[in-house]
Amino acid sequence: MKAIVYIIAGTAFGIVMAKSEAISWFRIQEMFRFQDFHMYGIIGTAVILGALGVWLIKKYQLRDFSGNPIVFNPKEKTWTRYLLGGTFFGLGWALTGACPGPLFVNLGYGYYAILIAILGAVLGTWLYGLLRDKLPH
């Protein structure tokens, strides 16, 4: 396994998130108050260029580095889980000022208190697994 390749990709991701301040609680507050373009610029640029990339991969039926066809799995066409789950997620995103990636980037940055939120996120995931059959999807 090319372990080092994934570690390098993750390291690049962590640096990009930290250097563009996307890991900052203040930046997330700015976003949810519609008071600056910064976060919208990051996500918007990523979505536009990402859509272009995905379109090119599909159009030219590109293959991955190992020569296998690249397939994109469409998401299930249900709505409840996306809307409700998304809302829970958004509540936590605004409160901690971090989504799952930045939780860990912040830890590396030296904000050790975030370990409490990481513990919470693991417990929350576990809770979802326990309740999954009882929740509307």
Partner 1 sequence: MEWILQPWPWHISGFLIVVIMMFLIFLGKSFGFSSNLRTICSACGAGKTAKFFDFNWKSQVWNLLFLVGSIIGGFISYQFLSTGEPVQISERTVEDLGQLGIAPPEGLQPLEVYGMESAFSLSGFLILLIGGLLIGFGARYAGGCTSGHAISGLSNLQLPSLVAVIGFFIGGLAMTHLLFPLIFN
Question: What's the closest the beta carbon of residue 61 comes to partner 1, in angstroms?
Answer: 13
Footprint on residues 53-82 left by partner 1 (CB under 8 A): 53-54, 57, 64-66, 68, 70, 72, 74-79, 81-82
Nearer to partner 1, 61 or 91 (CB): 91
How many residues in the shown chain lie near partner 1 by CB under 8 A? 113
Nearer to partner 1, 59 or 77 (CB): 77
What is the spatial distance between Cα 19 and Cα 105, in angstroms, rounded to a whole number? 11
- For partner 1, which residue of 44, 59, 61, 134 counts as binding (CB under 8 A)? 44
Question: What's the closest the beta carbon of residue 106 comes to partner 1, in angstroms?
Answer: 6
State the Rg of the chain over Cα. 18
Footprint on residues 103-132 left by partner 1 (CB under 8 A): 103-114, 116-130, 132
Question: What's the closest the beta carbon of residue 5 comes to partner 1, in angstroms?
Answer: 7
Question: What's the closest the beta carbon of residue 30 comes to partner 1, in angstroms?
Answer: 5
* Cβ neighbours, 10 Å, residue 112: 9
